[in-house]
Amino acid sequence: MKFEKIQAPKGVREYLPPESQSFEWVREQLISPAKAAGYQLMELPVFEDTNLFTRGVGESTDVVSKEMYTFEDRGGRSITLRPEGTAGVMRAVIESNLDRGQLPVKVWYSGQFFRAERPQAGRYRQFYQVGIEAIGIDDPALDAEVIAIADRGFKNLGLKNYRLEITSLGDAQSRAAHRVDLLKFISGLQLDEATVSRAAINPLRLFDDKRPEMQEAMAKAPILLDYLSPASAQNFAAVQSYLKEMGIAFTINPRMVRGLDYYTGTTFEFIHPDLGAQSGIGGGGRYDGLMETLGGQALSGIGFGLGVDRALLAAIAESTVPSQEFTSDLFIIPLGDESKGQALTIASSLRASGIRTEIAFGDRALKGAMKAADKSGARYVIVLGESELRDGSVELKRMSDGVTSSVKIAQLQDELQRALAL
């Protein structure tokens, strides 16, 4: 009987060697600036109570209305695979009372997120983000720092062609004033039923409608930036001047609409033009009412999510990904059962001292094992047979030029550390 092959589900992005090394490199470059700024890891579940997202992210959003992976678990509870990270962080902060300690609560996270979007290059149903959240302090300098941390991540990747767009969605007073005029404007448009009900929940969504006739209609719509309250305008001006002081270039995009409903105040997006339609490599902003909506205190927060998959595509487009082939320092070829035991012992003690060591397994003939050593890219090779064990010494072969030297097994670690300049 022949079994059929099973394929990965449609639209998931997975990373296999050697590409996985580039992926790991990108993820670490993106998040290291947050670690250096005192953000601490939060490791959260990938599934949550569905209400967390309908309430937190908002029912007018595509993410909630069309893209959630929602199912009933065995206890009849409605569960959703997390489409984003912020709501889960807030849930955990509230649940564990972290917001009763020192503020701001500063956390970072990294992992898979799930959105049932139409898959295409740079848009996946399971994708990867790293993100940060800073909760509990309302200060434009913090907004600027959060943006600077994201920017540093992209700079770490060597990216040059991206741009930063920022805007402000203002405070409640600014949005209320704008909403009155925006609704008045929208009521003058000919809209289908679905659009009318989306506008009733969040009229700002219409700025994000990709249909050409809607884009044209919305071109004349009142812009929130013109309605900022004095406090919001002052806050936004301060964010901009801090960014300038740090030498971070940005443009103001007053029509930016983020895909999630919780945003208020400073919002931003990083765009990489080489990525075609999926050009958003990261985004974030302030979300002043979110914690309260989720049953917590009325504390503000700000954060970002960076798309690891897209950042890797951007780094590939700009040819900044370093060569990531794994090469070991030493390849041990044991000949015979007794030698295998010795090889295992020697390898584990060499690895403990930082020497990357591989072993040839499977009783291959010497010739085949040498080929494997060659392929592995190892810098040195030793053969461990009966005579080597008896004499307590091996021939250490340097693969770059084939030069060999006789080394006592007991001296192998010192010798290799010297040769590798570890």
Is 266 a binder of ligand HAM (CB under 6 A)? no
- Using CB under 6 A, pick the residue from 106, 175, 272, 310 that binds ligand HAM: 310
Cross-strand pairs, 221: none
Is 304 a binder of ligand HAM (CB under 6 A)? yes
Beta strands in 73-154 (DSSP E): 78-81, 105-114, 126-135
Task: Compare residues 123 and 205 and give the one whose CB is closer to ligand HAM.
Answer: 123
- Using CB under 6 A, pick the residue from 58, 153, 265, 307 that binds ligand HAM: 307
1's tokens: 């009987």
Is 123 a binder of ligand HAM (CB under 6 A)? yes
- Using CB under 6 A, pick the residue from 33, 56, 85, 170 that binds ligand HAM: 85
Distance of closest approach, residue 101 Cβ to ligand HAM, in angstroms: 20
- Using CB under 6 A, pick the residue from 23, 53, 108, 124 that binds ligand HAM: 124
- Using CB under 6 A, pick the residue from 48, 133, 165, 261 that binds ligand HAM: 133
Rounded to a whole number of angstroms, the distance between the first and last alpha carbons of the chain is: 53
CB-based burial label for 277 (10 Å; 0-12, 13-18, 19+): exposed
From the CB of residue 66, how many other CB atoms can be counted at a distance below 10 Å? 10
Q: Give me the 268-297 binding string for ligand HAM, x by CB under 6 A, dash otherwise.
A: ------------xxxxxx------------
Question: For the CA atoms of the chain, what is the radius of gyration?
Answer: 28
- Using CB under 6 A, pick the residue from 28, 117, 139, 318 that binds ligand HAM: 117
Q: What per-residue string of b and e applies to 324-360 under the rule 16 or more CB within 10 Å gives b? A: eeeebbbbbbbbeeebbebbeebbeebeeeebbbbbb
What CA–CA distance (Å, rounded) separates 32 from 29?
6
Task: Compare residues 128 and 242 and give the one whose CB is closer to ligand HAM.
Answer: 128
Distance of closest approach, residue 114 Cβ to ligand HAM, in angstroms: 9
Nearest residue to the partner ligand HAM, using Cβ:
307
What CA–CA distance (Å, rounded) separates 382 from 406?
10
Which residues are at the interface with ligand HAM (CB under 6 A)?
A: 84-86, 115, 117, 123-124, 127, 129, 131, 133, 259-260, 280-285, 303-305, 307, 309-310
